[in-house]
């Protein structure tokens, strides 16, 4: 008999009917307190050797319907090795995909999950690194701690680099990116990291939305708040995660800010800058361009031809983290987006965009930061 379950860390699916393996009917669930849906993560059991066809019947009502075009589901038998299935079919409303499982249990997810246990292991690695310390900034609405990893020493004359990831909890690639960046930064035999830590102290929030992550939300926290629309006026009830991080940024000052995300639709790695924010000068543009050129040199996965169209300035823009930080601190402040699908300029047929590639991009980013911070 076929069973489908999702009662685990970041699990998310609604089952309509799984009695016939060739016609498994599913729905993408909404975030717990907001009407965003796209993330899924569930286990199918009892279908070894059977040709399964699974269908998300409400894919057309997801947050980014265009995200299903050319999308390939991520799957794993052992929860360690994740691979891409063949491209599914999207008809504008339903997204369906096929697999004949090799084993009794198979996990499916929108992208490789980054669980809370792994988050705790990431904190353990920070505590074990001589250059890093872990702080608890305060409590989330569900009572989880909001963790900050500090790498290097805060000292007069040192620059302050802030990096936050997973404001949108379904964008797990953002935490893999941070993992790769931190691992390199802890490496005392790496000259790039050593030079960076001479110049700067790193303040890294590896998961800005712990509640949404564990609950299996796509975009919001336990209160239904989109944290990346809360930076202008955060509050301790609906967006304590932003209020707490903002308070610490004000205390330390910010010289560089990176906000790490995943994009459901565009098959590219790109950044979104501040060209549309009042006060943006040619000097700011030159600084953004210098960072982009250095990141392009450090990683062929990064590109600058494709990205978001520059929008006209509205007040809402300052509710976004990187825009608010630029406006407040006047520093280099960027949103970095990785794809859920693949990098169309350097595709990988087996894995698409993956956790491993996100980690490598994180590590490569240190090279680009050195180019903008190091001994000019
Ligand atoms: Zn995002």
Strands 24-27 and 52-56: parallel
The three state secondary structure string of 7-44 is CCCCCECEEEECCCHHHEEEECCCCCCCCCCCCCEEEE
193-247: per-residue pLDDT in tens? 999 999 999 999 999 999 999 999 999 999 999 999 999 999 999 999 999 999 9
Reported as a pLDDT band with limits 50, 70 and 90, residue 312 is: low
Question: Ligand 1 centroid to 216 CA: how many Å?
Answer: 15
129-176: per-residue pLDDT in tens? 999 999 999 999 999 999 999 999 988 999 999 999 999 999 999 999
Question: Ligand 1 centroid to 167 CA: how many Å?
Answer: 7
Q: CB of 160 within 8 A of CB of 258?
A: no
Model pTM greater than 0.95? yes
Helix (H, G, I), strand (E, B) or coil at 213: helix
What is the model's pLDDT at position 376? 47
* Assigned fold of 116-372: Aminopeptidase (3.40.630)
What is the model's pLDDT at position 315? 75
What is the model's pLDDT at position 285? 96
Distance CA 41, CA 112 (A): 9
Given the residues 14, 112, 241, 337, the one annotated as active site:
337
Reported as a pLDDT band with limits 50, 70 and 90, residue 375 is: low
Distance CA 264, CA 111 (A): 10
Question: Ligand 1 centroid to 174 CA: how many Å?
Answer: 9
* Ion ligand 1: protein residues whose beta carbon lies under 5 Å: 168, 171, 261
Asked whether the predicted pLDDT for residue 81 surpasses 80, the reply is yes
**Domain boundaries in the chain?**
3-109, 116-372
Mean pLDDT of the chain: 96
Question: Ligand 1 centroid to 101 CA: how many Å?
Answer: 32
Active site residue 337: yes
Q: How does DSSP classify residue 161?
A: E
Mean pLDDT across the stretch 364-372?
A: 97
Reported as a pLDDT band with limits 50, 70 and 90, residue 93 is: very high
Question: Ligand 1 centroid to 229 CA: how many Å?
Answer: 11
Reported as a pLDDT band with limits 50, 70 and 90, residue 314 is: confident
Q: Under CATH, which number does the domain 3-109 receive?
A: 2.60.40.3120
């Amino acid at each position: 008999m076929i069973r489908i379950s999702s009662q685990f860390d970041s699990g998310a699916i609604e089952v309509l009917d799984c009695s016939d393996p060739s016609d498994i009917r599913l729905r993408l669930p909404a975030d717990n307190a907001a009407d965003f849906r796209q993330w899924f993560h569930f286990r199918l059991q009892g279908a070894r050797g059977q040709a399964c066809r699974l269908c998300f019947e409400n894919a057309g009502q997801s947050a980014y319907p265009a995200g299903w075009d050319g999308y390939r589901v991520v799957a794993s038998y052992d929860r360690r090795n994740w691979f891409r299935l063949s491209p599914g079919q999207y008809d504008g409303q339903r997204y369906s995909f096929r697999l004949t499982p090799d084993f009794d249990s198979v996990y499916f997810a929108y992208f490789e999950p980054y669980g809370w246990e792994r988050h705790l292991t990431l904190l353990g690695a920070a505590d074990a690194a001589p250059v890093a310390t872990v702080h608890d900034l305060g409590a989330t609405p569900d009572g989880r701690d909001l963790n900050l990893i500090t790498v290097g020493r805060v000292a007069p004359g040192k620059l302050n680099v802030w990096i936050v990831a997973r404001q949108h909890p379904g964008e797990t690639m953002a935490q893999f990116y941070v993992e790769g960046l931190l691992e390199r930064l802890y490496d005392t035999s790496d000259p790039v990291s050593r030079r960076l830590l001479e110049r700067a102290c790193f303040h890294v929030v590896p998961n800005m939305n712990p509640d949404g992550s564990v609950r299996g939300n796509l975009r919001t926290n336990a209160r239904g708040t989109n944290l990346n629309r809360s930076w202008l006026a955060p509050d301790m009830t609906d967006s304590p995660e932003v209020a707490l991080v903002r308070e610490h940024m004000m205390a330390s000052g910010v010289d560089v800010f990176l906000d790490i995300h995943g994009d459901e639709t565009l098959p590219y790695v790109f950044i979104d800058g501040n060209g549309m924010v009042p006060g943006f000068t040619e000097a700011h543009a030159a600084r953004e361009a210098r960072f982009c050129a250095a990141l392009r040199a450090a990683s062929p996965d990064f590109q600058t031809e494709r990205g978001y169209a520059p929008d006209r300035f509205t007040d809402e823009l300052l509710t976004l983290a990187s825009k608010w930080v630029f406006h407040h601190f006047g520093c280099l402040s960027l949103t970095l987006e990785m794809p859920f699908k693949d990098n169309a300029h350097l595709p990988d047929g087996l894995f698409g965009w993956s956790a491993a590639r996100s980690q490598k991009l994180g590590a490569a980013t240190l090279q680009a930061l050195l180019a903008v911070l190091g001994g000019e």
